[in-house]
Structure 1
Amino acid sequence: MTPRTIRIWSWLHRWTSLVCTLFALMLCITGLPLIFKDELGPDLKLETTTTAPGTASIDDIIARAQAARPGQVVPYLFYDRDHPIVKVPTSPLMTTDPSDFHYQVFDTRTGRQIEITQPNEGFLYIMLRLHLDLFAGIGGTLFLGVMGLLLCIAIVSGVVLYGPFTRRLDFGAVRRGKPQRTWLDLHNLLGIGTLAWFAVVSFTGVINTLAAPIEMAWQANQLVEMAAQAKPADDPTKRARIGDVLREVRTAVPGMNVMTVAFPGTPFATPSHVAIFLTGNTPITSRILKPALADATTGQIVSVRDMPWYATALFMSQPLHFGDYGGLSLKIIWALLDVVTIVVLISGLYLWWAKRRRRRSTVTAIAGLQAVAR
């Protein structure tokens, strides 16, 4: 590699790192508790029972949730992947922003309501919003996506520079003496040690910032095509029981679990259809959604399709980003790598600051000598 090429890569690494490092540091710090969101979340205090999940009437559960919040509607149902519970949000409108939902949680076996703190408040919620969008909505999400792209460039340029800058040192060598030299060696060693993990987390993080555009693309294309397969309803005011709809979809798509139900009028359904999103039972298929559309008046299944490739890429990237697909042991590894990455980012800022301070000292000394000479 020629000296000119090294200078170009050094410039690219320096400035992409400087622009995105503070935001990357914020994402690493806020992401650390999110790795353990299940462990730090509310204690559900589920009762031991032999009743199978889904035995309680979901229509009765919905009616109870609406009765507790008069004048509000139920836009969605959210089933838990790991526990026999369903989260029932209520809101003033079907199109209300999810951050304004009020949630009620019920045991799907007994129908018993479980008292929990609201998931859209508290420490974990603040960490999640900072991590997702800086409390700035879609604009904040896309901004963090740009920072993620710069971080990916910084990682690639750092890999390119690692060889030329360490070719005279043994791998893993950390020179003692000057603090700046020691921190440079630690920065290089820890950076190359966490390279694969940091690259995966950064790239999947960028993909996750595209969730909103991906959702809009799905709504504008596949959802419209699925709804076009339905016949016009004879009585648009009539509504099928949700329990009947869920039985229909479980018969049409056996061996899959219902994760989300979107009611007519929400962004993920149509004015005359119920959308049901299902997942498989294996570690891989449990992360991929399969949408089904049911006629809201008859409860009959209109269409079942696989999600498009770009949506599947989004769903597959999410567990890789948070490391929540391999149990607690993998989460601990993810957390340790996160802490090491925080050290890499802070050391990079320190090295830039120390180099800048040294240059200023040199300029000041030269100016002083010139003044004496005059």
Structure 2
Amino acid sequence: MSIRKWYLIHKWTSLISTAFLLMLCITGLPLIFHEEIEHLVGVVEAPPMPHGTPDISLDKVAEAARKQRPQDVIRFMFWEQDEHPNVTLVSMAKTMDAAPDDSNIVLIDTRTAQVLDAPPPERGFMYVMLKLHVDMFAGMPGMLFLGFMGLLFVAAIVSGVVLYHPFMRRLAFGTIRREKQVRVKWLDIHNLLGVATLVWALVVGITGTINTLSQIVIFVWQSDQMAEMIAPYKGLPPPTQLGSLQDSIDAAKKAVPDMHVSFVAFPGSMFSSPHHYTVFLKGNTPLTSRLLRPALIDAQTAKLTDTREMPWYVKTLLLSQPLHFGDYGGLPLKVLWTLLDLVTIVVLVSGLYLWIKRRQHTEQRICELEQKHAQGV
């Protein structure tokens, strides 16, 4: 492919995606530190108790949540032991099939079943940043559109690398021609910063694109592996009486002893069937803690129905989500992600500046030629 074609690819993929990429970079900055921001704004934590205080039965935790919000049903229970120890996050809604944004949260002490907080649905700054970053308040179409912008971003990076080599053949790496006009200096800065952040930009662009496919991936998993796991219950009427949640959790732990519980989907919710508690377990290492393994437990008998490793496409999604926000290496990696994000903003803005200046230069040149033609030169 000729250099001119690569230039056109770089030009148009960059121009089309720049505005949305700037929005993603800016909204992504606070999301990198969402855990730290939550602590700063005063998220309720469990009170201190003697070390080794045992947890209470999760049936009593569920009972406490239902008393707090008797008009709602429980859809999920979450545990984030590293971030919020001894706290059970109960997600409730009017119905099992309500939209995710219609959920209500109840925070309960896992040791005492005391309600710690029942905050109203989040609609503050972090909620706005997350929705803009994920789907621009447009649901699935917004997610897929941002995924397409991510693909354009990757194409802009690849074409930029192809153009960088012939452009810099006669210049030492990192050269910034300060003695030239301002546009040339910014061109050198744009190229240098773009190459310096090449790997990071590709990682974030690719993982971001993968993340926009999350709902599609979930649908494929439900239609594939999940359908196979619940096949023996196909056609059976939903149970009218559910068994013990605690016994179901214990059965999942016994079936997968080398993992611990991350969250539970209640019967009839998005990640389960009308007949099962689906217990999602995760590993204990930095890598395996990002991967989930479902264990389906019969909601009446608390007996294991099936448990399997997630298919490759779900694992890819699960691994890409924390990598996108630099959530693998603690605070140092988050700081690095922030610096690279800021540099990427400079690359995007400088690219837009160079395009505007080039257009102005072209228009000025056209005007000069028209004037000469009018004067008969």
State the TM-score, normalized to the length of structure 1. 0.95
Aligned to 2:34: 37
In the TM superposition, residue 8 of structure 1 has moved relative to its aligned partner by 0.7
In the TM superposition, residue 143 of structure 1 has moved relative to its aligned partner by 0.5
Deviations 1:48-78 (A, max 9, x none): 2235487022222222222222321111111
Deviations 1:120-146 (A, max 9, x none): 321111111111000000110001011
SS of match in other structure, 1:74: strand
Output aligned runs, 1:310-325, within 5 Å: 310-325=313-328
In the TM superposition, residue 105 of structure 1 has moved relative to its aligned partner by 1.0
In the TM superposition, residue 350 of structure 1 has moved relative to its aligned partner by 0.5
Match of 1:344 among 344, 347, 353: 347
Match of 1:168 among 167, 170, 175: 170
Kept in 2: contact 1:91–1:101 (CA 8 A): yes
1:113 aligns with 2:110: no
SS of match in other structure, 1:125: helix
1:20 aligns with 2:22: no
Aligned to 1:104: 106
Aligned equivalents of 1:312, 1:282: Cα separation in 2: 15
Match of 1:10 among 7, 16, 19: 7
Kept in 2: contact 1:53–1:108 (CA 8 A): no
Deviations 1:271-330 (A, max 9, x none): 111111110010010000001101111111100100000000101111111101111111
Distance 1:228 1:206, change over 3 A: same
Output aligned runs, 1:1-374, within 5 Å: 5-41=2-38, 42-50=42-50, 52=52, 55-82=55-82, 83-84=84-85, 85-115=87-117, 117-118=119-120, 120-176=122-178, 177-229=180-232, 236-373=239-376
Q: Which moved more, 1:68-77 or 1:153-162?
A: 68-77
Q: Structure 1: which amino acid aligns with 2:104?
A: H
Distance 1:95 1:29, change over 3 A: same
Aligned equivalents of 1:78, 1:60: Cα separation in 2: 15
Aligned equivalents of 2:6, 2:18: Cα separation in 1: 17
Distance 1:182 1:98, change over 3 A: same
In the TM superposition, residue 243 of structure 1 has moved relative to its aligned partner by 1.1
Aligned equivalents of 2:375, 2:354: Cα separation in 1: 32
Aligned equivalents of 1:45, 1:236: Cα separation in 2: 35
In the TM superposition, residue 191 of structure 1 has moved relative to its aligned partner by 0.4
When the two structures are aligned, how many residues end up with a matched partner? Answer: 371
SS of match in other structure, 1:87: strand
Kept in 1: contact 2:238–2:274 (CA 8 A): no
In the TM superposition, residue 364 of structure 1 has moved relative to its aligned partner by 1.7
Distance 1:166 1:273, change over 3 A: same
Kept in 1: contact 2:238–2:275 (CA 8 A): no
Deviations 1:182-222 (A, max 9, x none): 10000000000000001001001111111111100010111
SS of match in other structure, 1:183: helix
Aligned equivalents of 1:98, 1:107: Cα separation in 2: 24
Distance 1:311 1:156, change over 3 A: same
Q: Which moved more, 1:267-276 or 1:45-54?
A: 45-54
SS of match in other structure, 2:61: helix
Aligned equivalents of 1:146, 1:57: Cα separation in 2: 46
Identical positions, percent: 47
Aligned equivalents of 2:27, 2:268: Cα separation in 1: 34
Kept in 2: contact 1:229–1:303 (CA 8 A): no
Distance 1:52 1:221, change over 3 A: farther
Aligned equivalents of 1:142, 1:69: Cα separation in 2: 35
Aligned equivalents of 1:207, 1:120: Cα separation in 2: 26
Q: Which moved more, 1:222-231 or 1:37-46?
A: 222-231
Kept in 2: contact 1:240–1:298 (CA 8 A): yes
Q: Structure 1: which amino acid aligns with 2:207?
A: T
Q: Structure 1: which amino acid aligns with 2:112?
A: T
SS of match in other structure, 2:2: helix
State the TM-score, normalized to the length of structure 2. 0.94
